[in-house]
Amino acid sequence: MATDEQLAEAAKCGSTTAFDELVERYQSRLLRFLLGRCNNRADAEDAIQDTFVNAYRYLQSYDPRWRFSTWLYRIALRNASRQSLHPAAEAIELEDDTDPLAACIALSERQNLWLLAKRQLAADAYSALWLRYAEDLPLADVARALDRSLAWTKVSLMRSRRRLAAALRQQPTIAEGNEMYDKA
């Protein structure tokens, strides 16, 4: 299986199949990312479309020394609406042996966690948390995606975790078992 960077290089050379594979890999991830930054789903979908159009248009500027995901998230951030933000909606996908009530409770707690983060943190700090913990990007890639220094990213994540941990002390069911707060 080709890496994102290999697919980007193939797309640079004119392979539409390679670019289609990149779109397939990132479409749902970008939607989750942008739902928390746009006013509604339609705006998020528009931002995704603009992101892929811009990525295709400026593919020649992609530098393969860096991760493709970092470059793409940076484009997505630029396309996201700067208006007031609304919570992301998630679909519940159940496996055959999953208790529907437990799945709904888990989903609700996950949404509440990100809603709390949205209320407590500045937009850049929230984006840093999302990229680090929801998208599992390395610190250096989070810093590049946000066009911030590595030091700012580390300090912002530490302060954000501490701030949320303090807010969560009043809501312990959200914090239990969440890796983001185990480090606070």
Answer yes or no: is pLDDT of 68 > 90.
yes
pTM above 0.75, yes or no: no
- In angstroms, what CA-CA distances link 93 with 86, 106, 114? 22, 12, 19
Task: Say which CATH topology domain 100-182 has.
Answer: Arc Repressor Mutant, subunit A (1.10.10)
**DSSP code string of the chain:** ---HHHHHHHHHTT-HHHHHHHHHHHHHHHHHHHHTTSSSHHHHHHHHHHHHHHHHHTGGG--TTS-HHHHHHHHHHHHS--S---PPP------TT--HHHHHHHHHHHHHHHHHHHHHS-HHHHHHHIIIIIS---HHHHHHHHT--HHHHHHHHHHHHHHHHHHHTT-HHHHTT-HHHHT-
Q: What is the mean pLDDT of the chain?
A: 80
Per-residue pLDDT tens digits for 92-139: 455 556 666 665 555 555 557 777 888 888 888 999 998 998 888 999
- In angstroms, what CA-CA distances link 180 with 15, 98, 158, 184? 39, 25, 10, 7
Q: What is the pLDDT at residue 108?
A: 56
- Contact between residue 12 and residue 60 where contact means Cβ atoms under 8 Å apart: yes
Tell me the two tokens of residue 47: 């931002």
Q: What is the pLDDT at residue 12?
A: 93
- Contact between residue 154 and residue 138 where contact means Cβ atoms under 8 Å apart: no
Q: What is the pLDDT at residue 113?
A: 74
Q: What is the pLDDT at residue 175?
A: 44
Q: What is the spatial distance between Cα 80 and Cα 50, in angstroms, rounded to a whole number?
A: 9
Q: What is the pLDDT at residue 156?
A: 95
Answer yes or no: is pLDDT of 82 > 60.
no
**Amino acid identity, position 41:** R
Q: What is the pLDDT at residue 98?
A: 61
Residue predicted with more confidence, 171 or 30: 30
Q: What is the spatial distance between Cα 112 and Cα 178, in angstroms, rounded to a whole number?
A: 13
Residue predicted with more confidence, 172 or 66: 66
Q: What is the pLDDT at residue 102?
A: 63
CATH of the structural domain 4-79, one choice from 1.10.1740.10, 3.30.70.100, 1.20.1050.10, 3.40.190.290:
1.10.1740.10
Q: What is the pLDDT at residue 87?
A: 41
Q: What is the pLDDT at residue 184?
A: 52
Per-residue pLDDT tens digits for 15-28: 999 999 999 999 99
Q: Determine the average pLDDT of the residues in 138-142.
A: 92
Q: What residues does each domain of the chain span?
A: 4-79, 100-182
